[in-house]
Amino acid sequence: VAKRLEKFKTTIFTQMSILAVKHGAINLGQGFPNFDGPDFVKEAAIQAIKDGKNQYARAYGIPELNSAIAARFGEDTGLVVDPEKEVTVTSGCTEAIAAAMLGLINPGDEVILFAPFYDSYEATLSMAGAKIKGITLRPPDFSIPLEELKAAVTNKTRAILMNTPHNPTGKMFTREELETIASLCIENDVLVFSDEVYDKLAFEMDHISIASLPGMYERTVTMNSLGKTFSLTGWKIGWAIAPPHLTWGVRQAHSYLTFATSTPAQWAAVAALKAPESYFKELKRDYNAKKEILVKGLKEVGFKVFPSSGTYFVVADHTPFGLENDVAFCEYLIEEVGVVAIPTSVFYLKPEEGKNLVRFAFCKDEETLRGAIERMKQKL
Ligand code: GLN
């Protein structure tokens, strides 16, 4: 394997989902719903296939989807973007992240990353040859250590890669935090790559896109996807929204990474993004109910649970159960208890920072959540 990928193992999500199947464990690990996306979106995909929409799409997205994405973003943020010049459809947000890194970062450029982070960030930055500077978000509230951030951002910084609502902690960046990031970026001419795939799963406060802050749109790539919002994580439809000069970099990388994205799924995404407001309201309400079941259950089991304001994850401190670290705890949990969680140390530049924390996903039906809690109550 190439040197830039030597240190990375099989992704933790793949490892854990294989173990879940092997041990017949209840999977609260990898973040995918165990229920299906809405019928009207599935019907739209079937119809598109029947209608012969099956050849390559335009590289940066079918025009109808670029327009639907721009319209949705406009409604969410108040920003008016040009669907033809500022929107790029990618194969999931993970590809959008890769395309932004590879298309806009030069080898040796310094990029700031908040730990814990979704594991693809570090690997993709490594592929792009970036120099990574980490800022750690710490429990109990995982807020940004603003003084540390101020010291870290210099005129050598090329970009900040951020994610709100935040995987794995469920933390949402507050307006004050976002304003601090914004003023540092403007002062030091820094780009922002913002992964907002959980924006519709914001329970405790309104989601704020950093691109909507004054002076920020022109330096921000906002990335999102269909997967979480429509419970269709396997469709891999994502996008990046950025001003034309940044979109150019994203599109150049995208053109040579995947060229284009599944045509029928793009047609279905057009239908999805036109969902009535009631769809988004119901989604949020359903997920909030799931969160409450899991949080209450984990507390009853004896975990110290940290508050999650958004996403479909919650992190908990496993140390009351006496295992030496997060990996040992998760192994025990799978083999002896029959439940899968994700050890968080893989989400840090310094793995020991995550050794007390494990992540549980609550994007599961109520019976599954209750079943997992029951197993933990009996066997932990
Ligand atoms: N983003 C999801 C998670 O964090 C799944 C990612 C993946 O499987 N690569 O669980």
| Ligand 1 pocket: which of 16, 28, 32 to mutate (most atoms within 8 A of CB) | 32
Tell me the mean pLDDT in the region 271-280. 97
31 lines ligand 1 (CB under 6 A): yes
351 pLDDT above the threshold of 90: yes
pLDDT given for residue 269 in this prediction = 98
266 strand-pairing partners: none
CA distance 126 to 192: 17
9 pLDDT above the threshold of 90: no
Handedness of CA 111, 116, 120, 126 (dihedral sign): positive
Work out the burial of residue 187: count CB atoms within 10 Å of its CB; fewer than 13 is exposed, 13-18 middle, 19 or more buried. Answer: exposed
Residue-wise pLDDT tens digits, 141-169: 999 999 999 999 999 999 999 999 999 99
33 lines ligand 1 (CB under 6 A): no
Same fold flag, 3-30+278-379 and 39-273: no
**Exposure string over 166-176, b if 16+ CB within 10 A, otherwise e:** bbbbbbbbbee
CA distance 17 to 1: 23
pLDDT given for residue 155 in this prediction = 92
Residue-wise pLDDT tens digits, 177-192: 999 999 999 999 999 9
How would residue 264 be classed by pLDDT, with cut points 50, 70 and 90? very high
User: What ipTM was estimated for this complex?
Assistant: 0.91
Note the Cα 227 to chain centre separation in Å: 10
30 lines ligand 1 (CB under 6 A): yes
Residue-wise pLDDT tens digits, 193-249: 999 999 999 999 999 999 999 999 999 999 999 999 999 999 999 999 999 999 999
83 pLDDT above the threshold of 90: yes
Radius of gyration of the chain (CA): 20
309 pLDDT above the threshold of 90: yes
CA of 120 relative to ligand 1 center, distance in Å: 9
Residue nearest to atom 4 of ligand 1 (CA): 31
CA of 31 relative to ligand 1 center, distance in Å: 5
Share of the chain above pLDDT 70, in %: 100
Q: What is the CATH number of domain 39-273?
A: 3.40.640.10
Share of the chain above pLDDT 90, in %: 98
Q: pTM of this prediction?
A: 0.97
CA distance 74 to 355: 41
Q: What is the mean pLDDT of the chain?
A: 97
The phi and psi torsions of 27 (rounded to 5 degrees) equal -95, 95
Q: Is 26 helix (H, G, I), strand (E, B) or coil?
A: strand
CA of 233 relative to ligand 1 center, distance in Å: 9
CA distance 260 to 247: 15
CA of 138 relative to ligand 1 center, distance in Å: 21
Q: What is the CATH number of domain 3-30+278-379?
A: 3.90.1150.10
Tell me the mean pLDDT in the region 278-305. 98
How would residue 47 be classed by pLDDT, with cut points 50, 70 and 90? very high
Domain map (residue ranges) of the chain: 3-30+278-379, 39-273
